């Protein structure tokens, strides 16, 4: 499936904060789309402040293959500290190419991009400008063959502060942690043995 706009300056999608079901979430790939492929091209995603109690991300990928190209993410009201990130990645096959993230203010517990256990992300030629929060990208890598790959990305005027919560990795532009429960060397060997 392809979702294509007329360009980031023309086609804008904004979350509806009056939606009583989920006011912060704009797009979600649901569990019944396991083998789907979604290409999103030439769109701007605008995040409206939905209140301090709303934690769901603006864009959530859970299943399938998701490719964003020449898109933009920004906040309509960056003076508010948002509790919900721009993107939450739950699947292994997410690719962002030439995506611009700008003007985002997040709480000390929230990053602009959250990669949760089971998720992986490849970012190519992406720009991050004026992002404030606990991290710009926070990745918790837990599965075999889940990666965080960055190529030709730029971070400008991004400020990240440590969280007051001790169990939330934070305080750097990119924060990577692992939830592997056993030895990395054994995990690596096991992953090669299990590969087809």
**What is the reported pLDDT for 162?**
84
Question: CB 106: neighbour CB atoms within 10 A?
Answer: 25
Range of the domain at 67: 2-194
pLDDT tens digits, 120-160? 999 999 999 999 999 999 998 877 667 889 999 999 999 99
**What is the reported pLDDT for 134?**
92
Look up residue 137 and give its two tokens: 């990208």
Alpha helices in the chain (DSSP H): 184-194
Above pLDDT 70, what percent of the chain? 82
**What is the reported pLDDT for 190?**
43
d(CA 46, CA 82): 13
Token pair 């030895």 is at which residue?
183
**What is the reported pLDDT for 33?**
63
The mean of the pLDDT values for the chain is 83
Is pTM beyond 0.75? Reply is: yes
Indicate whether 64 pLDDT > 70: yes
d(CA 99, CA 8): 10
Burial 127-136 (b: 16+ CB within 10 A, else e): ebebbbbbbb
If DSSP codes are grouped into helix, strand and coil, which group holds residue 4?
strand
Averaged pLDDT for residues 107-130: 94
- Total domains in the chain come to 1
**What is the reported pLDDT for 133?**
93
pLDDT tens digits, 29-41? 666 666 788 899 9
Q: Which residues pair with 113 in a beta bridge?
A: 87, 137
Confidence at 180, pLDDT banded by 50, 70, 90 = low
**Burial, 39: exposed, middle or buried (Cβ in 10 Å; 0-12, 13-18, 19+)?**
middle
Indicate whether 4 pLDDT > 90: yes
**What is the reported pLDDT for 183?**
55
């Amino acid at each position: 499936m392809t979702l294509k706009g007329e360009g980031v300056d023309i086609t804008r999608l904004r979350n509806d904060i009056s939606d009583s079901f989920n006011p912060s979430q704009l797009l979600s790939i649901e569990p019944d789309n396991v083998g789907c492929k979604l290409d999103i091209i030439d769109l701007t995603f605008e995040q409206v402040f939905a209140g301090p109690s709303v934690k769901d991300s603006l864009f959530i990928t859970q299943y399938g293959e998701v490719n964003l190209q020449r898109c933009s993410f920004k906040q309509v009201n960056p003076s508010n500290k948002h509790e919900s990130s721009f993107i939450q990645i739950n699947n292994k096959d997410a690719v962002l190419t030439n995506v611009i993230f700008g003007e985002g203010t997040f709480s000390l517990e929230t990053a602009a991009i959250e990669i949760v256990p089971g998720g992986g992300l490849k970012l190519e030629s992406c720009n991050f400008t004026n992002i404030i929060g606990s991290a710009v990208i926070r990745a918790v890598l837990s599965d075999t063959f889940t990666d965080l790959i960055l190529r030709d990305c730029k971070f400008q005027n991004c400020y990240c502060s440590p969280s007051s919560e001790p169990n939330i990795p934070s305080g750097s532009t990119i924060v990577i942690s692992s939830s592997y429960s056993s030895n990395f060397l054994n995990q690596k060997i096991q992953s090669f043995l299990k590969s087809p």
